[in-house]
Amino acid sequence: MKPPELRQEPKPDLGRRLRRARRRFMFLSLRTILRVAGFARVRTLGNLAGELQFRLASKQRRRIQHDMALAMGRPTDDSTVGRLLREAYRVNNTAVLEIMAMFDRPQDEAMLAARCEVDGLENLRAAMAGGRGAILLATHMGNAALLTVKLAHAGWPVSVVYREARMMSAGFLQTGLEQYGIQGILANTGIRAYGQMLGALKQGRIVFVMMDQGVQNKETGLVQRFLGKDSAMPAGPAQLARAAKAPLLPVATTAALPVWRFDIRPPVELGAGLLETDLERLVRITEQQVLAHPQLWSWHHRRWRKLPPAATS
């Protein structure tokens, strides 16, 4: 047996390489289109892209609509669910294209800040007054990257935890964040990323992290029932809050039009019991946010849509 340092990772199969190449081509094509169109036209392009995906990916759409109805406690043939899903495609495709345009080339920060409104800033101010920084826990609901730019533009020290997608150019998100004065922390680096998060909180910074993207396998997360599916959810946010004794504030997306609107909620009490208990509480909070505004969540995110509905007893 070869020693660990000499072992080679198995090469992905041909099908996976072709899928990665297709996603890479799509990324480069979209980036070119966005550069030509300009940021002012991104919302129009996003709505069109969402509408096309909703209509053309019919098999995927029907499966998501079925699972979405179960998660919402509605009949699987409820036409209202289809209308909500259609809007979710439009909202979140717009968000993805906006983020690409923002991070591909620097945009006017005042213009970006004006494209979102924030409720609950008094909760953030009170949390930051404790001197331990603050964790903002967001979801895949619209363009939350605008919130981080708005906070940084207003002078808040912001660090964003992100995952690097294979389809994007190396360093695309890192460079994009830095051009707005935001520290990027690459979650893919594991323990190193965790150390950077702890360091950022010790420096009194805001650490912005997503809760609902899930993780790839059960070994790197804890299985929780989330929107009707058993998913390995990241325990990192809860563990980070416990280790740093930093306040954790949920961030809810409440509107997409006429501008994005976010609500920073009061801190969640954590650390009194088991880590699993804290994680379950955060998952339930995230789930409630999604169900309050289902038309704003990315139901077609692959980490959720590819999972089967959980068996019910």
Beta-strand (E) ranges in the chain? Answer: 116-119, 134-138, 158-162, 183-186, 206-210, 222-226, 229-233, 248-255, 260-264
Question: Contact, 145 vs 100, CB < 8 A?
Answer: no
User: What angle do helix axes 42-56 and 79-104 make, rounded to 10 degrees?
Assistant: 140
Question: Which phi and psi angles does 20 have, rounded to 5°?
Answer: -65, -40
Of 279, 284, 124, 292, nearest to 208 (Cα)?
A: 124
- The pLDDT score that the predictor gives to residue 25 is 73
- The pLDDT score that the predictor gives to residue 246 is 97
Sign of the dihedral through C-alpha 271, 224, 95, 17: positive
What is the token pair recorded at 199? 């360091």
Residue 253 is classified by DSSP as E
Question: Which phi and psi angles does 311 have, rounded to 5°?
Answer: -70, 140
- The pLDDT score that the predictor gives to residue 255 is 97
- The pLDDT score that the predictor gives to residue 220 is 58
Round to whole Å and give the CA distance between 72 and 139. 17
**In terms of DSSP bridges, do strands 134-138 and 206-210 run parallel, antiparallel, or are they unpaired?**
parallel
Domains of the chain (ranges; CATH) run 14-305 (3.40.1130)
- The pLDDT score that the predictor gives to residue 6 is 38
Work out the end-to-end distance of the chain between its first and last CA atoms, rounded to an integer number of angstroms.
46
What is the token pair recorded at 218? 């059960």
What is the token pair recorded at 187? 């979650």
Of 110, 192, 187, 120, nearest to 152 (Cα)?
A: 110
- The pLDDT score that the predictor gives to residue 42 is 95
Mean pLDDT by runs of 10 across the 313 residues of the chain is: 43 70 75 88 95 94 96 95 97 95 94 96 98 96 96 97 77 93 91 95 97 60 91 92 96 97 96 89 96 97 90 69
